[in-house]
Amino acid sequence: MASVPAYSISSDAIAQERERADKSGEDFDVAKVIQLDTLALAELGDTDVRFRVLAVSAEHNIDHASTADTVNIADVRGGKIYPGNSATGEVLEVGDGVTRFKAGDIVITHCNGGPDEYGYPLRIFGYDAEESTGWYSKEAVVDQWQLIQAPLDCGLNLWEIAALPLRAPTAYHLWRRALGIYRLKVSSEHKARLNVMSFGGGVGELFLMLAKAQGHNAFFCAGSAERRKSLEAHGIIGIDQKQFNRFASRDDVRAFSKHTRGLTGGEQFHVVCDMLRGPCFAAGLAVSSRQGVNVSAGWQLSQQVDYNSTLMSVKQVTIDHTHYETAEGAAAATELYGSVFKPTIHKEIYAWEDLPRAHAEMHHNSQTGIPIVRIADEMPDAVKAILPD
């Protein structure tokens, strides 16, 4: 059984960093928790694929795993996990029963870690799915159902493709749910063009790209001027969260609501995408229109949420919790790479050894776009044409 370099997150590392931070009075440093390790690869099964990882994106669920802010998933998984929910790779070897891939193919992953009877995930691969190992590693072995052919001719470069395997299916799922729910209540004959808003982040910007591509008015509420500028190039209107103190008080939320009424001619937003918790939640509900839909796949900051249900009932606002797409939905989202999904990439492409720092900077919201980590030193010929200089 071969072993490869890989990053891990352990209960011991979390405890040690908590103790250090408490004693020193310094901030918790996720870079000290995500540690270089070795991973024993599973033996290649009949329907398995072994691939070398070319590039990955940093994902917020690794931040949750590192800080144990909602649940100590490393502890739940027996003391250690090997994270990484999104990767682009080159197939090295396939099992005898593999029909969809061959050596040399360039693939992307999805992280549906165990579907229910409808195809939606009960667990996430590389996070809470038992015995799953993620893709912050030099190589990986997974069943072929976990992979999708990378759309190398979609017009995106390699880093842009690497940004999307987790985020694009999440945005796709959020949008089709949100729009479907709204149309159950309000037909296109009554309201054809909707006002759609998302708060800052990679999934949020892709969500708005879908809305804009279908002719709706799209608004991106984020603190990053660089990200707002990038979205404005796609015709998406930017709103500066910092202008409203990131909704720290009720007065800030009221000021935000007044501002958005001016932007929308008094209608407010028919669809809002947020985290369903934290300061954005109250702001998102405050600016929801009658019959509006508030949708989220996040659980950042807290597992609990409260709101004025009477007011939401009067407005007939629907609050919808989602998680992640089906495998088929992930493949469908991949068809939109380049034509709809054009992600904003952070200005630095991190090296393998800088992966922990990439997550520390994500934790502090200091990045200008989706962070990408280059895993492979030498890239295959198949991707060299789309490899940025």
List the strands of the sheet with 35-40, edge to edge. 35-40, 3-10, 80-81
Residues 97 and 33 in one domain: yes
Question: Above 90 in pLDDT, residue 279?
Answer: no
Contacts of 147 (CB under 8 A, 6+ apart): 49, 51, 100, 101, 107, 108, 109, 110
Question: Above 90 in pLDDT, residue 281?
Answer: no
366 — pLDDT class (breaks 50, 70, 90)? confident
Of 290, 321, 352, the residue that ends a domain is: 321
Contacts of 335 (CB under 8 A, 6+ apart): 151
Per residue in 172-207, pLDDT tens? Answer: 999 999 999 999 999 999 999 999 999 878 889 999
Within-domain flag for 43: yes
Rounded Cα distance, 22 and 369, in Å: 31
Rounded Cα distance, 291 and 174, in Å: 17
Rounded Cα distance, 135 and 21, in Å: 28
CATH no. for residue 195? Answer: 3.40.50.720
According to the model, what pLDDT value does residue 296 have?
A: 84
Report CA torsion sign: 275, 358, 388, 92.
negative
Per residue in 168-177, pLDDT tens? Answer: 999 999 999 9
Residues 154 and 245 in one domain: no
Residues 300 and 153 in one domain: no
Residues 16 and 74 in one domain: yes
Q: Which residues are registered as beta bridge partners of 150?
A: none
CATH no. for residue 45? Answer: 3.90.180.10
Other C-beta atoms closer than 10 Å to the C-beta of 258 total 10
According to the model, what pLDDT value does residue 68 have?
A: 85
Q: Percent of the chain having pLDDT more than 70? A: 97
Residues 360 and 278 in one domain: no
Residues 85 and 222 in one domain: no
Return the structure tokens found at 261. Answer: 């009424």
- Tokens 């004959």 belong to residue: 189
Of 15-24, 51-60, 129-138, 298-307, which range is least confident?
298-307
298 — pLDDT class (breaks 50, 70, 90)? low
According to the model, what pLDDT value does residue 63 have?
A: 86
Within-domain flag for 45: yes
Question: Above 80 in pLDDT, residue 40?
Answer: yes
Within-domain flag for 333: no
Q: What is the mean pLDDT of residues 57-72?
A: 87
Rounded Cα distance, 75 and 56, in Å: 24
- CB of 74 within 8 A of CB of 9? yes
Of 272, 287, 321, the residue that ends a domain is: 321
Q: Percent of the chain having pLDDT more than 90? A: 75
Rounded Cα distance, 205 and 219, in Å: 9
Residues 81 and 120 in one domain: yes
How many domains does the structure of the chain reveal?
2
Residues 189 and 301 in one domain: yes
Domain extent at residue 245: 169-321
Residues 317 and 363 in one domain: no
Residues 104 and 85 in one domain: yes
Other C-beta atoms closer than 10 Å to the C-beta of 177 total 17
Return the structure tokens found at 145. Answer: 């159902």
SS3 per residue for the chain? CCEEEEEEEEHHHHHHHHHHHHHHCCCCCHHHCCEEEEEECCCCCCCEEEEEEEEEECCHHHHHHHHCCCCCHHHHCCCEECCCCCEEEEEEEECCCCCCCCCCCEEEECCECCECCCCCECCECCCCCCCCCCCCECEEEEEHHHEEECCCCCCCCHHHHHCCCCHHHHHHHHHHHHHHHHHHHCCCCCCCCCEEEEECCHHHHHHHHHHHHCCCEEEEEECCHHHHHHHHCCCCEEEEHHHHHHHCCHHHHHHHHHHHHHHCCCCCEEEEECCCCCHHHHHHHHCEEEEEEEEECCCCCCCCCCCCHHHHHHHCCEEEECCCCCHHHHHHHHCCECCCECCCEEEEEECHHHHHHHHHHHHCCCCCCEEEEECCCCCCHHHHCCCCC
Residues 174 and 121 in one domain: no
